[in-house]
Amino acid sequence: MRKYFKPGVFILSTIPFLIIFYKIYFNKLGPEPVKEITHFTGEWTLIFICLTLSMTPLKRLTNLNIWISFRRMLGLFVFFYASLHLLTYIGIDYRFNLQPIIDDVLKKKYIFIGFAAWVLLLPLAITSSQMMMKLLKNNWKKLHRLIYVIAIFGALHYIWLSKTIFFRPLVYLVIILVLLALRIKIKNRNVNYG
C-alpha cells in the first residue's frame, strides 16, 4: 500500500499541468488566455508552496513520517509550476522580447519580487538530490530554509499585483504565515524535549 503513495502524489501533482495543457490545446481559456495561463500557473505555484510547507507540521500532528517523503517531490513541483509561470510571462506574453522584461523586473516591485523568488528556487532545485544532500551535510538544511523566504516573496508578489485589497492573495499570505509560525513552535518543542 505504502509504495503507491509517492507515485499517487506525483500523479495528483501533474493534474493542474494536464488541465492547463487541455485548456490551451482546446482553446478553453476565455477572452484573455495569456492572463489565464499566467494566473493559473502562478496560483498553483503558491498552492504547492503551501503543500510543501505543510509536510513538516503534518508529520508532527500525525506522528507519521510518510509526509516527509513527499516533501522533496512537492518542492520540485513548486519549481516546475513557478518555471511554467515565468515561461508564460517571458515566452508567451512578451515573446522573449527582453527589453520590456528587464524594464519590468527592475522597475516593478511585484515583478522584481516574483522573479527573485524564482531565482532563489534555483539552488533548491539543483541541490534537491540525495547526493547533494549528503554532500552539503548541515549546510543543506540551512540552504533549504530559503523556502520560507520564497514563500513570503510569492505571497507578496500576488498581493502587490492586485488592484485593491483582494481577499484571495491575503488568504495565501495568512496560510503561509500560519505554516511558518507552526515551525517556530515545533522548534521550541524540540528544544524543550532536548
Q: Which residues bind another protein (CB under 8 A)?
A: 24, 27, 29-35, 37, 92-95, 100, 103-104, 107-110, 160-161, 163-166
Neighbours of 43 (CB within 10 A): 17
How far, in Å, CA of 55 to CA of 61, rounded? 10
Nearer to another protein, 16 or 57 (CB): 16
Instruction: Please state the closest distance from residue 100 (CB atom) to another protein, in A.
Output: 6
User: In the complex with another protein, which residue's Cβ is closer, 103 or 141?
Assistant: 103
DSSP 114-157: HHHHHHHHHHHHHT-SHHHHHHHTHHHHHHHTHHHHHHHHHHHH
Ranges of H-type helices in the chain: 5-25, 33-62, 66-87, 98-107, 109-126, 130-136, 138-144, 146-161, 167-193
Q: Which is nearer to another protein, 15 or 34 (CB)?
A: 34
CB of 107 to another protein, least distance (A): 7
Nearer to another protein, 35 or 189 (CB): 35
The C-alpha cell 533549504 sits at: 144
Minimum CB–partner distance for residue 76 and another protein (Å): 26
CB of 49 within 8 A of CB of 79?
A: no
CB of 117 to another protein, least distance (A): 17
Minimal distance, residue 46 CB to another protein, in Å: 17
Cβ proximity to another protein, 130 vs 164, nearer residue: 164
